[in-house]
Structure 1
């Protein structure tokens, strides 16, 4: 499947999920509003019945009562302007709320109808045991001389919101299921894109491998053919040159195959480290000497600034040397002008810090996060001046992880690159 088709599918699926989540959000809002309206209606009916009964018991007509007012989301008031017995009001209120399955705790009070002074108040817990409530929370009475005993009844539900949310239990389950579907979809799409990218990288790797192997095989074949047909007539100088060509190309081919096999071994988790005490300074000197002939051909320079006071580490010298050479090799290959490479060491808290810095082409910020991925090579358009499989840096990362170390990169386009390795002592 092409990248364009995957992008179209991803966009359409994302839009569908956004629409689905939006619809679920709208339904949640509507469900909450419906539950709140039902709660408010039940409270208003209960308070209306309480008000009618209190007025009737006081010899007044219920028709004189004003409608129940909702002054806030959880605050209701019945304007009675009549003398009320607090115990009677508490009992009626409890009965009416219980009949409508409103089992949440509430606070009620009687206010002076003239100046809204609180005259009586009580908190009623959710247990609804009236006798216990009266014993634990006796009626509090505040009398005010000279005021007429004309009261209004007010009720507050402090846990109204949590009650409504609890009543929406089905909606929360459905929303949770939808969220699981969304997360699963997101994970699936990430995996698809990752596999697609890995497939592209492997395709590039196979193409690079084909070209990289084809060149030494072709050179070996040509030199062997010449030696097979004309070995007796060739001068000694040309014979030596063909022999050296076969040897060097064979070594090149062996090194390429070895690198691929190393990565295959690490991928199958069969990498076995033969750790020993290794002098990093000596190892850096050795790998630098191996790179010296190529630097001389390009009039390049490599400086060693080895300041670490404790260069001895417990590591696999072969793999560490290969990792260091891979970084030095990149520093040389990606320097279009005469290579200028600086290798330094110093002590850090975690162990020994090795820095390999060049002044080459550098790497754009957007590509740096992929550098240590297997088969990844920084895009260069249609120009492929530098050969490789995209395995070098992933090998370096794998070796550092195996030694419980770390590798980081700092680079800017056309300003060079600096790789930093930290190996524990």
Structure 2
């Protein structure tokens, strides 16, 4: 798949995932907002009903008070009417019929006149009672308007009554049994009283309703209600959205992982193609040399000349070694596909192995006009590693230094060993080559990875050397790191455990 195709799919999928998440977030925000509005509407409606009932209670209170005060006066008036008309006390009522009224007999009045007098008497009684009731109501209203605000607010709005009314109204309006706290406050004097649950952290979480709308401005009180678990209640109504977010998040993670894997596979494919091209080039040269040497052996004149025969055999031997070394490098990397590499650890002297590899490379370094130095100063160089693989590690690092040398200055190679502590040996291999860029430095130990300079035709490789080195050092129980600056050189630092 082309890189442009992968990028196109990535962009399309990214827009789709972002759009999906955006729609889910907006939907949840709107739902939470709607739940908050519904909750507020229920609370405000319930609080308004509570204040209305408190006002009704106050009206009833003053009505009862006026009835008690007027009872004595009404009793005196009733006795006077009874005495004048010789009526029993239980007949003085607004519901008297004309037939029930017993008018005193007067011998000098006709029956028709007596009946008219009785009717007029009853009309007067009804009119008096109507005027009494009207006056009573007017007096109650006047008392409420003039005297009610003088009563203590704790009597007008008793805390137990307020809690009972709030519980009733919340239940009637569809709000579940939700913990709440309430308080009665005055803007000038502050909180008059409050319930133990009333402890708001934010003013916006408090719902407020005015009590007794007819009170003067200086004596206006408010009922505040606070719900400590309101957020949990709102969240519980929209928690069904959580699985949707979880599935979307899983899809997003899978999408990102898939894109990363796709790019890695693309990069790995490119590196493998480079590996095949480089391997073909590396194998082609020794195979061609061996083929030419074999053809020369078929010539009788070559076979008759001992010097020529020796030269041809030397070429065949050198190119065979070169080919075997390249094949060995490829085979070495087969262990990357296994969980455990085949190792034959043994006790060796690291300084002796390093010194032998340096002697092998000395002629090759001097061929390019360079020099190689060794400072083997470790007091304890005994380590437990696979001898062949350890030799290959040092060999690969020195071979890289020669490959990536600078053309404008003579090559300088230094190998230093020391004991930084009593448990480890430190091996430093440094050169003055072309160096490695910072962005490439953290990737040089990856399999098949080669820096851009390494792809030039004058420097060929498989991108396996440093990956092999890192793998082996790790299996030895040690660590390796690289330090480098462009056009100043590279330093590899290996730390291996000693035998104790």
TM-score bracket, normalised by the shorter chain, equals 0.7 to 0.9
Aligned with 2:417 (options 341, 345, 356):
345
- Contact 2:406/2:432, CA 8 A, preserved across alignment: no
- Contact 1:339/1:358, CA 8 A, preserved across alignment: yes
Q: Is residue 192 from structure 1 mapped to residue 262 from structure 2 by the alignment?
A: yes
Q: Which residue number corresponds to residue 36 of structure 1?
A: 36
Give deviations 1:5-39, integer Å, cap 9, x for gaps: 21222223223322322222222222221222122
SS in 1 for 2:182: strand
TM-score of the pair, normalised by structure 2: 0.72
1:10-409 aligned at under 5 Å gives the runs 10-59=10-59, 83-99=156-172, 100-112=174-186, 115-123=189-197, 151-230=221-300, 234-337=304-407, 338-349=410-421, 351-380=424-453, 383-409=456-482
- Contact 1:110/1:121, CA 8 A, preserved across alignment: no
Any gaps of 5 or more consecutive residues in structure 2? 61-152, 200-217
TM-score of the pair, normalised by structure 1: 0.84
- Contact 2:290/2:320, CA 8 A, preserved across alignment: yes
Q: Measure how far apart 1:81 and its partner are.
A: 11
1:403-422 aligned at under 5 Å gives the runs 403-422=476-495
Q: Distance in 2 between matches of 1:354 and 1:388?
A: 24
Higher helix proportion, which one? 2
Q: Measure how far apart 1:199 and its partner are.
A: 1.0
Q: Distance in 1 between matches of 2:340 and 2:467?
A: 16
Give deviations 1:353-386, integer Å, cap 9, x for gaps: 2111111001111112221111111113873211
Q: Distance in 1 between matches of 2:341 and 2:360?
A: 25
Q: Measure how far apart 1:318 and its partner are.
A: 1.2
Q: Distance in 1 between matches of 2:420 and 2:58?
A: 88
Q: Measure how far apart 1:59 and its partner are.
A: 1.9
- Contact 1:301/1:341, CA 8 A, preserved across alignment: yes
Q: What is the RMSD of the two structures over their aligned residues, measured on CA atoms?
A: 2.5
Any gaps of 5 or more consecutive residues in structure 1? 61-79, 126-147
Q: Distance in 2 between matches of 1:34 and 1:352?
A: 69
Q: In the superposition, relative to structure 1, how do residues 163 and 352 fare at CA in structure 2: closer, same or farther (>3 Å)?
A: farther
**For this pair of structures, how many residues does the alignment match?**
385
Q: Which has the larger radius of gyration?
A: 2
SS in 2 for 1:59: helix
Q: Measure how far apart 1:152 and its partner are.
A: 2.5
Q: Measure how far apart 1:226 and its partner are.
A: 1.0
Give deviations 1:101-120, integer Å, cap 9, x for gaps: 34332221122476233324
Give deviations 1:65-100, integer Å, cap 9, x for gaps: xxxxxxxxxxxxxxx999201101111112223442
Q: In the superposition, relative to structure 1, how do residues 95 and 307 fare at CA in structure 2: closer, same or farther (>3 Å)?
A: farther
Q: Distance in 2 between matches of 1:347 and 1:354?
A: 9
Q: Distance in 1 between matches of 2:454 and 2:405?
A: 18
Q: Measure how far apart 1:155 and its partner are.
A: 0.9
